Amino acid sequence: MTERKKLHRKTEGREIAMQLLFQLEQQSLLIQSEAPGKTVPRSGWSRNELIRDFAAQNARDNFTAETAKKWVYGVIENLKTCDEMVGTVLKKWSVERVMPLERAVIRLCVYQIIFCDEIPPKVAINEGVEMAKKFGTSHSSKFVNGVLDAVYKRYGQTEENEAAYENNINT
């Protein structure tokens, strides 16, 4: 498989993951309830069923669906940490005040910046901006870019990460 095809599949997986995060939040399925094994009920779907079915129906292949699901579960697992990081860079705003679509993009990309070593942070930021342009309002991309850049500078930028990123570009 060519590198171009892999990148396209990852972009598609990112969009599916963002849409899933948005849908999960809209249906009150993003956050587990306190009782083990139970989700906050709102729809007839369980969280895992929604993730599985949405990814399978919207991805063109199994690799893309699995990639999207992996990222969604990663965000869910690290939601509190990601939201706290975003909250520290928002000026006079809280995470809850961010528009739901932008919040889904930001959560996914913050997860990728902080927890996905195989994804260069600048790629995650660029993909987030592109998703905001594609799915958001005319101002979404600037807002998403500002938030992701601030999170990256505050939490994700290390000399080691930068050196690895530069080596990947030059090879």
Residue range 69-118, pLDDT digits in tens: 999 999 999 999 999 999 999 988 899 999 999 999 999 999 999 999 99
Among residues 113, 106, 116, 112, the alpha carbon closest in space to that of 143 is found at 106
Q: Please tell me the distance from the alpha carbon of residue 92 to that of residue 9, in angstroms, as a whole number.
A: 37
Q: Please tell me the distance from the alpha carbon of residue 67 to that of residue 94, in angstroms, as a whole number.
A: 29
What's the pTM?
0.83
User: Exposure of 69 by Cβ count < 10 A (0-12 exposed, 13-18 middle, 19+ buried)?
Assistant: buried
Residue range 123-169, pLDDT digits in tens: 999 999 999 999 999 999 999 999 999 999 999 876 555 555 455 44
Distances (CA, A) of 36 to 31, 32, 72: 12, 8, 19
Residue range 40-50, pLDDT digits in tens: 444 566 899 99
Q: Please tell me the distance from the alpha carbon of residue 169 to that of residue 155, in angstroms, as a whole number.
A: 22
Q: List, in sequence order, every residue forming a beta bridge with 39; answer none if it has no partner.
A: 32
Instruction: Please list, in sequence order, all residues whose beta carbon lies within 8 angstroms of the beta carbon of residue 93, skipping any fewer than 6 positions away.
Output: none
